[in-house]
Chains A and B, each alone.
Chain A
Amino acid sequence: MVKEAIFDEMHTAAGDVRAHYQAYAEWLVETPPESIVEKRNEADTLFRRAGITFAVYGDETGTERLIPFDIVPRIIPSPEWELLQQGLRQRVTALNAFLHDVYHDQEILRAARIPAEQVLCNVQYRPEMQGIDLPMDVYAHIAGIDLVRAGQGEYYVLEDNLRVPSGVSYMLEDRKAMMRLFPELFARYSVSPVEHYPDLLLETLRSVAPSGVRDPVVVLLTPGAHNSAYFEHAFLAQQMGIELVEGQDLFVDDEIVYMRTTQGPRRVDIIYRRVDDDFLDPLAFRPDSMLGVPGLLTAYRAGRVVISNAIGTGIADDKSTYPYVPEMVRFYLGEEPILQNVPTWILRREEDLEHVLANLSDLVVKEVHGAGGYGMLIGPLATQAEIEAFRLRILADPARYIAQPTLALSACPTFVEAGLAPRHVDLRPFVLSGRDVTMVPGGLTRVALREGSLVVNSSQGGGTKDTWVLERALC
């Protein structure tokens, strides 16, 4: 199906084990298969007992499912990570600069580096944010940047997640499980720690407090226990020692946000929200929202509370904006992008549309506002009927779509029914921006467990792996 050879994270094209996987390969040989089966079952029990689950939308019967956890780590050598880290820092800095610009002077639009109507007519653009100053000029305090490898192992940015990126709890729980199940492996490898992520996140959030607030009160706003990522919300709130609130717990009085406590109202300064823009304030956005806080936008615009990520960040991670991110790096930072975009056809462009329609069976077509792997066509895996159906959808509104070549995503050995087999992976590091731009070494590695599948989303049969960034070069 995919014509190119697939880059294997563990083996070279000649079949040799790569240097940074050598010690793992030796361990695999030494460890009896029954012991590995036992450990896999143990991992399952660990996750189930701790209730590390996610809810699947539209699934009535099993509303809670375990995300499959694979015990083979995804290992990244130190120099490789160093480069990724620089690239991520650069990209997120440019994205934040873009957001500040779009909601202030719009220089990048005036310089015509991005078509103005594409930004200003986009539903993700929030006019309510125009002219509002945010602490440190930061909009996306938490960014999940999805990276994939293709070809000879080059990294590409597949998409930027700047609204409410999730998955960091799996990064942390996967590490905890690996250390518990395979302590001996950590004796063979010097793996960079990721456990301080909640501390780093809290520090980042506190660094963007409203001006004049010395000891800010931070809360995490969740849509509630039925949200698919609720486990993560509860987990992060607990790890940071902050209150996990729902919309009904907060209220606004005289442009100040309070939470209802057993001892009366208590002021809130920073809201780490895991609720989408549309649901934040029924007075300003969707009036039917039960998840939000009436009056929140007014308090926010008055600078009395910080919302993280800011309202309106969707304009920067929209798939129609994505092709212009390298241009943002050049425009705001005067640098060449370290991380590459996947080549992208923009279907609102006549010539791109023509090319894509002629090559649908080779391409991946994505809806620009879609997320979670929904609303996309993977040409090489689609039937002729599916392709024709999708063609009609594209023709109805070409501007809603972009297209990319079907990348031969890199694969990492993974335990499946038949034993160890390569499965496609991606990587989502979490970049934190406040006073500084920081990240823990690593991220969430997602793996497409079905053979040949390129969709790693947990809602569509994806699993996760622990990601090891090595402390020093082993070769």
Chain B
Amino acid sequence: MLSRTADHLYWMARYTERAENLARMLDVNCRMTLLRQEEDITRKRWASTLATVGQIDAYLAARDTITQDAAIEWITFEHANPGSIERCLDRARENAHAVRGTLTSETWETLNATWLELKRHKRVAVRRQNTGDFFEWVKFRSHLARGVIQGTMLHDEALEFTLLGTYLERADNTARILDARFELLMPDAAAPDAAVDYYEWSALLRSVSAFEVYRKVYRDLITPRRVAELLIFHEAMPRSLRHCTHRVHQTLVRVANARSGETTRRSGEIQAALQYGRIDEVLDVGVRGYLASFLSRTSDLGARIAHDFLLSEATV
């Protein structure tokens, strides 16, 4: 298929997934603020979230103080923020628009309808009372898009590059969400086995749809060690780093071309490290350091994918 088409599909999927994960992060924060309303903690919480999504500097350049309302506004609809949920959905739709002929009409109509409804959501001013509904809506539109894509599109290269975008983005986002929690709650990386703040950690689990999964897998108290283990190493957990990188690697094997050998090798390396790695080693080096290294490797993989498949130079 055309490199440009693959590029649009890949970014369509990445932006859809990113919008979903932003909504998940905001949702969990809002819920937590209802439980603990101390101003200081609330500010730290939102500062950490803005840092997680790479927006803290831009935010502080535009705003004097960090408040919940302002942070939500910034991440959802702020025009000056190129990484807002609105802009993600705009771009998902723009990318879909550019390849609408490659998509099934159901897929295009789903993304287009999301975009049209988004503008309506924006008009009714998503603030305070109905933010929860809005985050839920973003999440479900993403579920719907994924379902329609998998349920209607031909299982060919177009779908491969779409899934590649979804899983690479999700691996990145899960790592960031986990990192933010460890920064906020365990700055000194002490006592990973202690039964700590139940609500904070269960909220994290809920934000990645892993609360019930945790119960099922561990049938035990919630500890940071197990949370990290679940989200990093659990093979069957659809948002874990291992699961996502496994899917990325499989896809890269299937779409391999003459120049992508090194990229496949590197994705295999990342995957093997997750397949055979253990949580103790992660705790030894520190969860945050481990995740930082993981994020830099997935970002390298993203750049390599762009180079090998998406922007292929003229080579005859």
Using CB atoms and an 8 Å cutoff, list the residues of chain A in contact with chain B. Answer: 48-51, 224-225, 230-231, 233-235, 237-238, 243-246, 248-249, 251, 253-254, 258-265
Q: Are B315 and A265 closer than 8 Å at their CB atoms?
A: yes
Q: Taking each of A224, A253, A260, which has the highest tally of chain B beta carbons within 10 Å of its own beta carbon?
A: A260
Task: Identify which of B6, B101, B316 contacts A265 (C-beta below 8 A).
Answer: B316
B209 contact set on A, CB distance < 8 A? none
Q: Are A264 and B101 closer than 8 Å at their CB atoms?
A: no
Q: Does B285 contact A (CB under 8 A)?
A: no
Using CB atoms and an 8 Å cutoff, list the residues of chain B in contact with chain A. Answer: 1-6, 94, 97-102, 105, 108-109, 112-113, 116, 157, 161, 255, 257-258, 309-310, 312-316
Q: Are A251 and B314 closer than 8 Å at their CB atoms?
A: yes
Expressed in whole angstroms, the Cα–Cα distance for A235 and B255 within the complex equals 27
Q: Are B112 and A51 closer than 8 Å at their CB atoms?
A: yes
A225 contact set on B, CB distance < 8 A? 94, 97-98
B161 contact set on A, CB distance < 8 A? 262
Expressed in whole angstroms, the Cα–Cα distance for A251 and B2 within the complex equals 13
Q: Are B105 and A264 closer than 8 Å at their CB atoms?
A: no
Expressed in whole angstroms, the Cα–Cα distance for A57 and B6 within the complex equals 29
10 tightest A-B contacts by CB?
A238-B101, A234-B101, A237-B101, A251-B314, A260-B3, A225-B98, A262-B309, A234-B100, A253-B316, A244-B101
CB contact under 8 A between A245 and B2, given known A51-B97, A253-B314, A260-B314: yes
CB contact under 8 A between A249 and B109, given known A244-B101, A264-B258: no
A249 contact set on B, CB distance < 8 A? 2-4
Tell me the dominant secondary structure on chain A's binding face.
mixed
Expressed in whole angstroms, the Cα–Cα distance for A263 and B255 within the complex equals 8
Q: Are A49 and B314 closer than 8 Å at their CB atoms?
A: no
When C-beta atoms are compared, the residue in chain B nearest to A259 turns out to be B2
Q: Taking each of A238, A253, A259, which has the highest tally of chain B beta carbons within 10 Å of its own beta carbon?
A: A238
Q: Are B105 and A50 closer than 8 Å at their CB atoms?
A: yes
Expressed in whole angstroms, the Cα–Cα distance for A339 and B105 within the complex equals 40
Expressed in whole angstroms, the Cα–Cα distance for A248 and B5 within the complex equals 12
Q: Are A248 and B112 closer than 8 Å at their CB atoms?
A: no
Instruction: Using A50-B108, A238-B101, A245-B4 as known contacts, list a sample of 8 further A-B pairs with CB atoms less than 8 Å apart, ordered by residue number in A.
Output: A50-B109, A51-B97, A225-B94, A234-B100, A237-B101, A246-B4, A251-B314, A262-B257
A237 contact set on B, CB distance < 8 A? 101
CB contact under 8 A between A261 and B1, given known A48-B116, A238-B101: yes
When C-beta atoms are compared, the residue in chain B nearest to A246 turns out to be B4
Q: Are A261 and B3 closer than 8 Å at their CB atoms?
A: yes
Q: Are A262 and B105 closer than 8 Å at their CB atoms?
A: no
A-B CB contact pairs (8 Å), 10 listed: A49-B109, A50-B105, A51-B108, A51-B112, A224-B98, A254-B316, A259-B2, A262-B3, A262-B309, A264-B258
When C-beta atoms are compared, the residue in chain A nearest to B115 turns out to be A51
Expressed in whole angstroms, the Cα–Cα distance for A263 and B316 within the complex equals 12
Q: Are B1 and A265 closer than 8 Å at their CB atoms?
A: no
CB distance from B105 to the nearest CB of A (A): 7
Q: Are B101 and A235 closer than 8 Å at their CB atoms?
A: yes
B100 contact set on A, CB distance < 8 A? 51, 231, 234, 238
CB distance from A95 to the nearest CB of B (A): 30
Q: Are B314 and A248 closer than 8 Å at their CB atoms?
A: no
A230 contact set on B, CB distance < 8 A? 97
A263 contact set on B, CB distance < 8 A? 257
A254 contact set on B, CB distance < 8 A? 316
Q: Taking each of A50, A51, A259, which has the highest tally of chain B beta carbons within 10 Å of its own beta carbon?
A: A51
Q: Are A262 and B97 closer than 8 Å at their CB atoms?
A: no
CB contact under 8 A between A264 and B113, given known A51-B97, A51-B108, A259-B2: no
A49 contact set on B, CB distance < 8 A? 109, 112-113
Q: Are A258 and B109 closer than 8 Å at their CB atoms?
A: no
Q: Are A262 and B312 closer than 8 Å at their CB atoms?
A: yes
Expressed in whole angstroms, the Cα–Cα distance for A163 and B116 within the complex equals 34
Expressed in whole angstroms, the Cα–Cα distance for A162 and B107 within the complex equals 34
A245 contact set on B, CB distance < 8 A? 2, 4
Expressed in whole angstroms, the Cα–Cα distance for A66 and B6 within the complex equals 28
When C-beta atoms are compared, the residue in chain B nearest to A252 turns out to be B314
When C-beta atoms are compared, the residue in chain B nearest to A230 turns out to be B97
CB distance from B64 to the nearest CB of A (A): 32
Q: Are A260 and B4 closer than 8 Å at their CB atoms?
A: yes
B99 contact set on A, CB distance < 8 A? 234, 244
B315 contact set on A, CB distance < 8 A? 264-265
When C-beta atoms are compared, the residue in chain A nearest to B103 turns out to be A238
CB distance from B311 to the nearest CB of A (A): 8
CB distance from B1 to the nearest CB of A (A): 6
B310 contact set on A, CB distance < 8 A? 262
B255 contact set on A, CB distance < 8 A? 262
B108 contact set on A, CB distance < 8 A? 50-51
Expressed in whole angstroms, the Cα–Cα distance for A233 and B99 within the complex equals 11
Task: Identify which of B2, B4, B109 contacts A51 (C-beta below 8 A).
Answer: B109
Expressed in whole angstroms, the Cα–Cα distance for A64 and B278 within the complex equals 53
CB distance from B237 to the nearest CB of A (A): 30
Task: Identify which of B6, B101, B109, B116 contacts A262 (C-beta below 8 A).
Answer: B6
Expressed in whole angstroms, the Cα–Cα distance for A264 and B257 within the complex equals 8
When C-beta atoms are compared, the residue in chain A nearest to B158 turns out to be A262
Task: Identify which of A48, A235, A260 contacts B312 (C-beta below 8 A).
Answer: A260
Task: Identify which of A50, A51, A262 contacts B1 (C-beta below 8 A).
Answer: A262
